[in-house]
Amino acid sequence: MSRNELSLLVVDDDFRVAALHASIADAMIGFRTEARVGSIAEARTALVDHPEIDLALVDVHLPDGSGIELIREMRCDAFVVTAEESATAVRHAFTAGALAYLIKPFENTELARRLAGYAQYRRIVDTTTLGQAQVDSAVATMRGDRVPQARGDESSQTEKSILGAFADQARPMFADELSSVVGISPPTARRYLASLVADGQLVMKLRYGSTGRPKQEYRLPGVESAP
């Protein structure tokens, strides 16, 4: 696996839910599901076998114990993804170190949006030192807040060009389509698109075909997705 990718562990005893969450992550550029497991014991084994795991999606109720207690002992980042709605569980999850708490059921796009936010968070914190503005931006990104970020003139102009292209086209587009319209490389387009999704300026939806991995479709908020 390329270290340009963020490695995921999915911990859920419902194999259908685990497979769905893994498919959402794998459809996103820059993410890869390293393992899917259904118990705390299996999660511990996976963490030993794959020490490079960056983020775990963990259910609260597992056959052999509490996913929250598992998070306490993990060295990687974690999201709680569960149907548990009690305030006690939410408090304990954040005390244990969870970065997010998602209550099932939720739209697939919500998990995708949170993962995009996590990718942006990692880009901010993967450095030797951080100033207060960077810390505040990292925290806000994980909360899903839109925070003005200091961007260079070139970066700002590229974002304006991307948003302008969506406004002109008035329809959803894939990253490869956008790269052709704006005149930037597909990897650059994907990087900007992920940032704009995390900022809430674009919406991303997974489009499933008859075969292969789903593709990421982007649109402005309020613009209807393709049927």
Q: 173-192, pLDDT tens digit by residue?
A: 988 899 999 999 888 888 78
- Which domains are seen in the chain, by residue range? 6-106 (3.40.50.2300), 120-219 (1.10.10.10)
| Average pLDDT for 38-47 | 97
- Whole-model pTM: value is 0.70
Task: Tokens 């999850």: give the residue.
Answer: 93
- Residue 21, pLDDT > 90, answer yes
State pLDDT tens for residues 53-110: 999 999 999 999 999 999 999 999 999 999 999 999 999 999 999 999 999 988 878 8
Q: Is the Cα dihedral 147, 153, 158, 161 positive or negative?
A: positive
What 75-83 contacts at long range (C-beta under 8 Å, 24+ apart), as own/partner pairs, is 75/47, 76/9, 76/47, 77/118, 79/55, 79/114, 79/118, 81/12, 81/21, 81/57, 81/111, 82/58
Calpha distance 62→44 (Å, rounded)? 13
State pLDDT tens for residues 134-164: 888 888 888 766 544 445 555 678 888 999 9
Mean pLDDT of the chain: 86
Backbone angles phi, psi at 101, to 5 degrees: -135, 110
Those residues with Cβ within 8 angstroms of residue 23's Cβ, 6 or more apart along the chain or in another chain: 213, 214
Residue 145 confidence (pLDDT)? 62
